[in-house]
Amino acid sequence: MAALEEEAKRLPPNFGAIVGHLPLIAAAAVLAAPTFLRLGKQVWSSEIGAHGPIVLATGIWLLWRKWDAMTAAAKPGSVALTLVGLLTALGLYVFGRAYDFISLEALGLYGCFVALLHDRFGLKALFVNWFPIFYLGLLLPAPGWVIDEFTAPLKLFVSYLSAALVEPFGIPIIREGVTMTVGPYQLLVEDACSGMNSLIGLIAITLFYIYLLRNASWRYSAFLVALIIPIAIMANVLRIITLILLTYFFGDAVGQGFLHITAGLFLFAISLLLMFVIDSILSRSLARMGKPA
């Protein structure tokens, strides 16, 4: 008996809560599994949703870290509000699944998750520990029309800027909208090169970095988040210039082949590194002036 008690003390503090909610966890797993499979096939396997598994893993970890604090502040939420939230979310889930709208299906599943958290912890605990819940919301895929509307001006802008920067170096390039003719080759700036893909991933990772490591003021945090957009645009301009040069000097097969994907991954890493360098310089400058970040 003493051995069992000693072994129980070694278990994680949240282990008892997990065991007590096993039926609910099993039901949630049955509901969530088909959606996660569809997200994996339709969204996370594409460049625009590649950040999904990272956000899911880190989001669950953040929620796990906050579980004890949420439990300590827990006051069961309103039954009526929980039911309204669950019914609305289940309606979106069923509609999205029936008509193959992955955005609505994922939104419905997320709504069920938030409603269950509200039932368990109440509104106050959720508001105090809001970040992990908000962060997991970045898993939701944006509808196609939203992506198209957002990427259209970005595609035009990065196409114009890339062509303008390359032309003075004697590269024969003609641009018509998002289509560029480089020597005998024709390039089309698609969504993958417009900045939208790296923008979503950069926002997620930057928010995780600010929340976990910086503990900065909301003004400084908002400033860092605002920097994501110009950094992502410049990174994608460099990416397009790289692909233009690869295509012109080595041919279309090289520009659109393996190096096309490599350039995107490399510049995504450069964008993150640039964000961290800017943060380091700014935080040290503010510290020297005696102002907290």
Residue 219, judged by CB atoms within 10 A of its CB (0-12, 13-18, 19+), counts as exposed
CB of 235 closer than 8 Å to CB of 270: yes
Give me the pLDDT at residue 257, please: 65
User: What's the rounded Cα separation, in Å, for the pair 30 and 33?
Assistant: 6
pLDDT at 105 over 90: yes
Q: Out of 24-38, 47-61, 148-162, 190-204, which region has the weakest mean confidence (pLDDT)?
A: 190-204
Query: Among 169-173, 222-226, 260-264, whose mean pLDDT is lowest?
Result: 260-264
- What the block records as the tokens of 53 is 């598994």
CA 71 to mean position of chain CA atoms:
27
Residue 92 has pLDDT above 90, yes or no: yes
Q: Are strands 179-182 and 173-176 parallel, antiparallel or unpaired?
A: antiparallel
Task: Give the residue carrying structure tokens 């040069």.
Answer: 245
Q: Indicate if the pLDDT at residue 264 is higher than 60.
A: no
| Local structure of 183: helix, strand or coil | coil
- Residue 176 β-bridge partners: 179
Is residue 239 flagged as an active site residue? yes
Q: How confident is the model at residue 261 (pLDDT cuts 50, 70, 90)?
A: low
Place of tokens 């065991």: 19
pLDDT of residue 198: 62
**pLDDT of 5 higher than 90:** no
Q: Higher confidence at residue 93 or residue 146? A: 93
Residues with Cβ within 8 Å of residue 142, at least 6 apart in sequence: 103, 150, 200
Q: What is the pLDDT of residues 70-87, one digit of tens each?
A: 888 888 888 899 999 999
Say how far apart CA 199 and CA 138 lie, in whole Å.
12
| pLDDT of 28 higher than 80 | no
Is there a catalytic annotation at residue 65? no
Rounded to whole angstroms, the Cα distance separating 226 from 235 reads 15
> In this structure, what is the dihedral angle of CA atoms 37, 146, 52, 14, given to the nearest 10 degrees?
-90
pLDDT band at 114 (very low <50, low <70, confident <90, very high): very high
Residues making up the chain, counted from first to last? 293
- CA 260 – CA 246 distance, rounded (Å): 9
What pLDDT was estimated at residue 195?
52
Closest CA to 264 of 230, 244, 239: 239
Least confident of 116-130, 167-181, 213-227: 213-227
Which pLDDT does position 87 carry in this prediction? 94
pLDDT range class, residue 16, cuts 50, 70, 90: low
Exactly one of 65, 193, 214, 284 is catalytic; name it: 193
**Residue 22 pLDDT:** 65
Rounded mean pLDDT, 24-36: 80
DSSP 8-state assignment for residue 217: -
Helices (H), 129-217: 131-136, 144-166, 196-209
Residue 220 sits at the vertex; the CA angle it makes with 217 and 224, to the nearest 5 degrees, is 135
pLDDT confidence of residue 108: 94
Supply the pLDDT for residue 107: 94
The pLDDT tens digits of the residues spanning 185-239 come to 887 776 555 455 567 777 888 888 888 766 667 777 788 888 887 887 887 788 8
Closest CA to 136 of 202, 199, 63: 63
